[in-house]
C-alpha cells in the first residue's frame, strides 16, 4: 500500500491526512487511492504489452462507478456476474464489447440484456445454461458468443469458500465432460463457440496451480482443434492474491512474474505444435487490482475491559467488512495517529448485535476512545459485500487523487433504507 504512509505521525492517503478526511466526511468510510489503483492495473497492462491480450477487471471485488470509469479509461474490459453489473459498466462508460459474463445462474432477462448490448462473451457453466442461452439468442435473432468455464479439478490451496476449481465446487463444467459439452455447444444453431475459460479460486499466493490449470486448458484446446472446433480466446480467470500483512501467509507472486510465465508457456506451445495461433489471452483480476487501493476508516467508540478479553469497540462493523466473520480473514489494523497511549491487546469489534461481529482479534494497539483506526487492504470485497444489517447505512466511499478528495458514494441514512417499504393500509 505504497500510497498510504505516515507523515509527521499521521497516516495519509496520497497527500491527504486521514484525520482530515474523517473530520470532513465522518466514519466509517472507505478511502481509496487513485494512484494505487492505476499502478495496480498497469502491472497487468504492462505485462500484456505487445500481446493479443485483454485484462477484464472482475468487478465483484469493487463496483463503484468511479473506479470502473478510471479502469475503463485505461482500456480495461470487465468480468461481470449479473445484469446489474453490466448496467454499472455501461453507466460508468465502459465498453460492453469488452465484457465477459460469468456466473452459474444467469436468468433469461440477464441473457437478453447482455445480447442487446453485444457483450464479448458468455462464460457458460452448464449444459442447461447452453440450451437456455441458445433459446434466448434464437428468439432475438442473434448468435451468442460463448466459452465454457472448464473446471480443471486443480487445488488452489486457498480458503474453501473461495476455492472454485475442484470437483465438489458448483462452478464450471467438469474437465472430463468438457469435450462432449463443446461438441454439444457446436451443434446449437444460435451459439458461436469462441473460447475457453477457467477460474480456480481467489487469493492465490503461488501461481503453480494457475499454471497447472493452463496446461490442462492447452491440452483441451488441442483436442478441440483436432475435431475442427477452433477457439479464439483463452481466459485464465483471476485469483492472484495480495498481501494482507499476515506474514504467515507468505508473499504473493508478483503479477509481472506470473504473466511472464503464462506467456512463456503459451509461446512454447505455439512453437512446438502450432497450437494457439491467433488465440487471445484474457485475464480476470479483481482483488489484485483494488485490494490494496483502499482502507476502511473507523473511529473508536469505547474501550471495554473483560475478564478474558479486552475489546476495542469501533463504529465500523461486519456489515462494512464481512471478510473476517465470513472467512476468518486476517486484516491489518493501524491507528491513524501514532500517539503515546499505552499498548494493549484487543479484539476490534463493531456495534452489531452478533458475536460474529469482529474485525480483528488479539491485536496489540495503542488506542483510546475517540481515536481513529484503519483496516488496511480493504479495497476489495468491502462495499460490494456490505449490508444494511441492524438498519445501518452503508459507509461513504472516497477517492484521493493527490491532494484532492472526491466523494464517490454518499453515506446512506436510515430513511434511504426504508424508502422502498410501505405500510399495509
Known catalytic membership, residue 353: yes
Average pLDDT over the chain, rounded to an integer: 93
Q: Which of 127-131, 168-172, 239-243 has the highest mean pLDDT?
A: 127-131
Q: Which of 357, 202, 229 is nearest to 285 (CA)?
A: 202
Q: What is the mean pLDDT of residues 386-413?
A: 97
The domain segmentation of the chain, as residue ranges, is: 4-31+292-417, 103-283
57 marked ligand binding residue:
no
Confidence class of residue 157 from pLDDT cuts 50, 70 and 90? low
DSSP state for residue 336 in the 8-state scheme:
S
- Tell me, rounded to whole angstroms, the distance of Cα 303 from its chain centroid: 34
The answer to whether 27 and 315 have CB atoms below 8 angstroms apart is yes
Query: Residue 285 and residue 44: Cα distance in Å, rounded?
Result: 9
Per-residue confidence (pLDDT) for residue 285, from 0 to 100: 96
Q: Which of 291, 229, 214, 256 is nearest to 58 (CA)?
A: 291
285 marked ligand binding residue:
yes
Cell 454518499 belongs to which residue?
Answer: 410
Query: Residue 149 and residue 36: Cα distance in Å, rounded?
Result: 31
Confidence class of residue 276 from pLDDT cuts 50, 70 and 90? low
pTM: 0.94
Q: What is the DSSP string of 169-219?
A: SSSSEEHHHHHHHHHHHHH-TTEEEEEEE---BS-BS-SHHHHHHHHHHHH
Per-residue confidence (pLDDT) for residue 166, from 0 to 100: 46
Q: Are strands 310-314 and 99-101 parallel, antiparallel or unpaired?
A: unpaired
The answer to whether 288 and 243 have CB atoms below 8 angstroms apart is no
Query: Could you tell me the fold of the domain covering 4-31+292-417?
Result: Lyase, Ornithine Decarboxylase; Chain A, domain 1 (2.40.37)
- Grid cell, residue 89, equals 459498466
Q: Which of 338, 348, 361 is nearest to 314 (CA)?
A: 348
Catalytic residue among 48, 121, 312, 353: 353
Q: Check whether 22 has a pLDDT greater than 80.
A: yes
382 marked ligand binding residue:
no
Confidence class of residue 148 from pLDDT cuts 50, 70 and 90? very high
Q: Which of 143, 119, 146, 116 is nearest to 130 (CA)?
A: 146
Per-residue confidence (pLDDT) for residue 245, from 0 to 100: 84
44 marked ligand binding residue:
no
Which of 16-30, 75-89, 143-157, 182-196 is least confident?
143-157
Query: Could you tell me the fold of the domain covering 103-283?
Result: TIM Barrel (3.20.20)
Angle 241-92-193 from CA coordinates, rounded to 5°: 65
Amino acid at each position: 500500500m505504497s500510497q498510504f504512509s505516515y507523515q509527521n505521525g499521521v497516516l495519509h492517503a496520497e497527500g491527504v491526512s486521514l484525520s482530515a478526511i474523517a473530520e470532513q466526511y465522518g466514519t466509517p468510510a472507505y478511502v481509496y487511492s487513485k494512484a494505487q489503483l492505476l499502478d495496480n492495473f498497469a502491472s497487468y497492462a504492462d505485462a500484456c504489452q505487445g500481446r493479443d491480450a485483454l485484462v477484464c477487471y472482475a468487478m465483484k471485488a469493487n463496483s463503484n462507478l468511479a473506479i470502473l470509469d478510471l479502469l475503463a479509461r485505461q482500456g480495461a474490459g470487465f468480468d461481470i456476474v449479473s445484469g446489474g453489473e453490466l448496467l454499472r459498466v455501461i453507466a460508468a462508460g465502459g465498453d460492453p464489447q469488452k465484457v465477459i459474463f460469468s456466473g452459474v445462474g444467469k436468468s433469461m432477462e440477464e441473457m437478453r440484456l447482455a445480447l442487446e448490448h453485444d457483450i464479448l462473451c458468455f462464460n457458460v457453466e452448464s449444459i442447461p445454461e447452453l440450451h437456455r442461452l441458445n433459446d434466448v439468442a434464437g428468439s432475438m435473432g442473434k448468435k451468442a458468443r460463448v466459452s465454457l468455464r472448464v473446471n480443471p479439478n486443480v487445488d488452489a490451496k486457498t480458503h474453501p469458500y473461495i476455492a472454485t476449481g475442484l470437483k465438489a465446487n458448483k462452478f464450471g463444467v467438469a474437465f472430463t465432460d468438457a469435450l462432449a459439452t463443446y461438441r454439444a455447444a457446436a451443434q446449437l444453431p444460435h451459439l458461436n463457440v469462441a473460447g475457453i475459460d477457467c477460474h480456480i479460486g481467489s487469493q492465490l499466493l503461488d501461481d503453480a496451480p494457475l499454471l497447472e490449470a493452463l496446461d490442462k486448458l492447452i491440452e483441451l484446446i488441442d483436442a478441440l482443434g483436432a475435431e475442427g472446433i477452433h477457439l479464439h480466446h483463452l481466459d485464465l480467470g483471476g485469483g492472484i492474491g495480495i498481501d494482507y500483512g499476515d506474514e504467515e501467509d507468505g508473499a504473493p507472486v508478483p503479477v509481472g512474474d506470473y504473466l511472464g510465465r503464462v506467456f512463456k508457456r503459451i509461446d512454447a506451445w505455439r512453437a512446438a505444435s502450432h497450437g494457439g495461433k491467433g488465440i487471445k489471452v484474457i485475464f480476470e483480476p479483481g482483488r489484485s487490482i483494488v485490494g490494496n487501493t483502499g482502507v476502511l476508516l473507523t473511529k473508536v467508540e469505547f474501550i471495554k475491559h473483560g475478564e478474558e478479553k479486552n475489546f476495542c469497540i469501533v463504529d465500523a462493523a461486519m456489515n462494512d467488512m464481512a471478510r473476517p466473520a465470513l472467512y476468518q480473514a486476517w486484516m491489518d489494523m493501524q491507528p491513524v495517529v501514532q500517539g503515546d497511549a499505552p499498548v494493549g491487546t484487543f479484539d476490534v469489534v463493531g456495534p452489531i448485535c452478533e458475536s460474529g461481529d469482529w474485525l480483528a482479534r488479539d491485536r496489540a494497539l495503542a488506542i483510546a476512545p475517540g481515536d481513529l483506526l484503519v483496516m488496511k487492504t480493504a479495497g476489495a470485497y468491502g462495499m460490494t459485500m456490505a449490508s444494511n444489517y441492524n438498519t445501518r447505512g452503508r459507509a461513504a466511499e472516497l477517492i484521493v487523487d493527490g491532494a484532492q478528495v472526491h466523494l464517490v458514494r454518499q453515506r446512506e441514512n436510515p430513511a434511504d433504507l426504508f424508502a422502498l417499504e410501505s405500510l399495509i393500509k
